[in-house]
A and B are shown apart, each in its own frame.
Chain A
Amino acid sequence: MTPLLQVRGAGHRYGLRHGCRDVDLDLWPGEVLAVVGESGSGKSTLLGTLSQRLGPSEGSIRYRMADGRVIDLGEESEAAVRRLWRSEWGFVHQDPADGLRMHVSAGGNVGEPLMANGWRHYGRIREAAAGWLERVEIPADRIDDHPTTFSGGMRQRLQIARNLVVSPRLVFMDEPTSGLDVSVQARLLDLIRGLVFDLGLAVVVVTHDLAVARLVSHRTLVMKDGRVVESGLTDRVLDDPHAAYTQLLVSSVLQG
């Protein structure tokens, strides 16, 4: 058994400057990995590199596909990578407007990935969309409403439904809760935690909020200036931080 995602020496450059570099990590099914750090630390670049949303990258990123084949993502064609996006991966953006079609109904937004995967039966598409809206606690009678009429929390839950409807194996999340009110954040975190557990998802979640890392992740990677300065079990990293920067991050959290 090999990991779902095996990353060695991964990096990405913007011109001469590295957005992130020398990242090693393994991700296994059912595992939630948090990537923490302040803005500019390279955590979003790392997410873009892993998910192949950014251009050619350094190092190797190997992915074990649903059929068991292990592929090197850097060597795959754009068509193959996009097939992964459609069928095996999800990407939850910080701003739901980036991950949703704001002028397509909620049902259409959730149904689109199914149609992209060849579903051609309206009734079944609608049924699947309705089932997912219920799962993310969006009332059934909102299925034909546009996300523009939804609250921030509802939009984010809709984006999650759109991502999970194809039963992905790996989901990337970029600050999924940071645009939301604190009360809504808790509800969304609970939802994410439950879905991750029920579906056995592997997740890479980027967050600047250590509380989010604490609540949803098994392991944490701390980034600074494009490099991983510390990694390990989330409890260990947050309770017994070794790197100076991690100690600073942990000590900077406001105690509620």
Chain B
Amino acid sequence: MNRTPILAVSGIDKTFTMHLQGGQRLAVLSDLAFEVFPGECVVLGGPSGAGKSTILKLVHGNYAADRGRILLGSGVDVATADPRAVLAARRDTMGYVSQFLRCVPRVPALQVVAEPLVERGVPHDEARERAAAVLTRLSIPQRLWALPPATFSGGEQQRVNIARGFLPDLPLLLLDEPTASLDSRNRDAVIALIHEKRSRGVGMLGIFHDPAVRDAVADRIVDVEAFAPRAGAAA
């Protein structure tokens, strides 16, 4: 295994200050540190509310860290990088499969899935072909491809989301409960996708509540509770 981490997190603190609740401060993470290496799937463990999703959002740049480093393999520190560098990292280094699909309402599913490829310079035809292949694999019937995902069921939307997230070839993939609302057949398809990514050397950081899925994909589990702030420390 390549010993240069694709993601190295160290010394991260995260506190939310809620101005609408009288400036109440909510400390979520303290001195967070872990690494993800190419070709491994690291799963964040711990009970609900421990800050697992927060970690993914910190790495992706949706949340700002109070302090610390979030170093990508490319050398970019997401914790301090300017927005342009974070956008470039999202384009070239890391993908994100969120819990919910977020896209322009009218766009057809096939285009939603192909878009990340087109944005990275893949020709339209090739992007559409590859999008079609992954949609087929995730059992999205062809008759739905031309329709906007907003009209789909929750499970279908989630699979479109997975297809969109898995399609580009990026060295790091962040997975936020990608299998939450899937039936067993599609769950297995997603597990297979994760295994393929891993065998191609992609590093993954994910949240999986379903123990069966977690056991099937996890190389390592990082216990997020270990980074809980000590009571009163951030108050």
A and B form one complex: yes
Residue of A nearest to B65 (CB): A240
0/1 interface trace, chain A 176-188, chain B, CB 8 Å (1 if under): 0000000000110
The segment from A82-90, A97-105, A154-162, A231-239 that touches chain B is A231-239
Nearest to B118 among chain A residues (CB) is A197
A166 to B204, CA, bound (A): 45
Chain B residues with CB below 8 A from A193, complex form = 104
Are A215 and B64 in contact, with the CB atoms below 8 A? Answer: no
Asked if A13 lies at the interface with its beta carbon under 8 angstroms from chain B, I say no
| Smallest CB gap from B16: residue in A | A240
- Is B86's CB within 8 Å of the partner chain A? yes
A219 interface residue (CB < 8 Å to B): yes
Q: Which residues of B contact A242 (CB under 8 A)?
A: 17, 64
Instruction: For B62, list chain A residues within 8 Å (CB).
Output: 233, 235-236, 239-240
Give how many A residues have a beta carbon under 8 Å from the other chain's beta carbons.
24
B3 within 8 A of A: no
The chain B residue sitting closest to A220, CB to CB, is: B83
How many Å lie between the Cα of A186 and that of B108 in the bound state? 12
Set of chain A residues within 8 Å of B119, measured between Cβ atoms? 197
Complex interface residues of chain B between 40 and 77 (CB less than 8 A to chain A): 57, 60-64
Q: A219-B83, A244-B19, A244-B20 are in contact. Are A236 and B107 (CB under 8 A)?
A: no
A247 touches B61 (CB 8 A): no
Q: How many interface residues does B have (CB within 8 Å)? A: 22
- A150 interface contact, C-beta 8 A: no
**A233-B87, A244-B20 known; A190 vs B106 contact (CB < 8 Å):** yes
The reply to whether the CB of A136 lies closer than 8 angstroms to some CB of chain B is no
Contacting pair B20 A240 (CB below 8 A): no
Q: Does A218 contact B (CB under 8 A)?
A: yes
Is B19 in contact with A28, judged by CB distance below 8 angstroms?
Answer: no
- Cα(A251)–Cα(B21), bound, Å: 12
> Beyond A186-B104, A189-B104, A193-B104, is A233–B63 a contact (Cβ under 8 Å)?
no
Contact partners of B107 in chain A: CB under 8 A: 190
Are B106 and A186 neighbours in the complex by a CB distance under 8 Å? yes
Chain B minimum-CB-distance residue to A33: B83
- Given known pairs A244-B19, A248-B20, the reply for A215 and B104 (CB within 8 Å) is yes
| A31 proximal to B (CB < 8 A) | yes
For residue B105, CB closer than 8 A to chain A, the reply is: yes
* Chain A residue at minimal CB-CB distance from B148: A186
18 A-B residue pairs with CB within 8 Å: A28-B84, A186-B105, A189-B104, A190-B104, A215-B103, A218-B87, A232-B83, A233-B83, A235-B62, A236-B62, A236-B63, A236-B83, A239-B57, A240-B64, A242-B17, A244-B19, A248-B19, A248-B20
The 10 closest A-B pairs by CB, nearest first: A244-B19, A186-B105, A240-B63, A233-B83, A239-B62, A235-B62, A186-B106, A190-B104, A219-B83, A187-B106
